[in-house]
Amino acid sequence: MDKLLKELLEAPGISGCEEAVAEIMKRELSKYCDEVKIDNFGNVIARKGKGGKKIMLAAHMDEIGLAVKHITPEGFIYFIKVGGIADMVLPAQRVIIKAKKGDVAGVIGTKPPHLMTGDEGKKAVHFTNMFIDIGCKTKEEVLEKIEIGDQIIFEPNAGELSKDRFYGKAIDNRAGCYEMIKIMETLGNIDAEVYAVATAQEEVGLKGAKTSSFAVEPDFALILDTTVAGDVPGIEDKVSSLRIGDGIAITLIEASGRGTIVNNKIRRMMIDTAKENKIKHQIDIIDGGMTDGAAIYMNRAGILTGILSIATRYIHASTSVFDINDLFDGVKLSQKIIEKVSKNF
């Protein structure tokens, strides 16, 4: 696995606490762009080129996670969820609390099933009945290490399952961040201003996308994100036919239309561009979930917007899986789309 990709996957950055990721993005984008800044909201905004149209790439930096809410007299920590996390993925997970004095390791605990009543054992445990154990005996001992409000991430992990299939924490959407860096690294000279924007707080309301696109005011925006793969047991093709390794996904409709609906002009251009350049791709229609595109395409007077997504297994969990070839198909298609938009739109 590429060193930079591993660094991005393992970096801490729940929504609102993206500083560590932002510094990586600023460092890397500075190598390939004419100007890079971090705005008041925490978005990283890089610009390359001048003249012509304004084209904006957007990839969100934040990951789902938790935050410290309450500490019991016995030293157990209760938490809130930051972003969409299914309760079922939480029990027994190893976590890291990012405290001012240093990282604190913990384990998410629940009432043991052996001690549950008959009715309790039949129900899923709600996250409000879970807690984090950091090995302390009292509240005072815990407060020597952490503070209320500290961000909590899943234990960092990243690696290769096989030659092309990688796993890691925060693939949603550090894979998209890495993809954006690679696009800017290899993008040739074109008659346009290309903005690479690493957005903050996507997982909790697409917030950084709203503020950054208002500032950039692009003529066209291309969103780089992940989407749910359907190639695992229990999912029928009619629910999701996306497969990791089958190419970059061109997303056309999100959240049954509550999110972005890519207009016909853009969807035709993206699909035709993929076919013309023989870039492996698949079509993505999402019943649930949305990307930064949903905020960007309704900003100001409306912004032409397209979405490219990397099919990913086990999304919004402590570890996800994707195929690196899909990511690089996304890099190739993004470059061709940027070239086309700069000339014809």
CA 94 to chain centre: 20
Active site residue 193: no
Distances (CA, A) of 198 to 39, 88, 104, 207, 308: 11, 30, 28, 12, 15
Exposed/middle/buried for residue 311 (C-beta within 10 Å: 0-12, 13-18, 19+): buried
Residue of 296, 220, 216 lying closest to 254 (CA atoms): 296
Secondary structure of residue 113 in the 3-state scheme: helix
Beta carbons within 10 angstroms of residue 112's beta carbon: 7
Say which residues have a Cβ less than 8 Å from residue 297's Cβ, sequence separation at least 6: 221, 260, 303, 304, 305
Number of residues that this document lists for the chain: 345
> Token pair 């695992």 is at which residue?
232
Tell whether omega for the bond before 344 is within 30 degrees of 0, i.e. cis: no
Catalytic, out of 28, 179, 193, 202: 202
- How far is the C-alpha of 174 from the C-alpha of 209, rounded, in Å? 16
The Cβ of residue 276 has, within 10 Å, a number of other Cβ atoms equal to: 10
176 token code pair: 């998209």
Distance, in Å, from the CA atom of 197 to the CA atom of 216, rounded to the nearest integer, reads: 9
Residue type, 108: I
The helix or strand, by DSSP H or E, that contains position 223, with its residue range, turns out to be strand 220-228
The DSSP output letter for 257 is: G
Catalytic residue list: 202
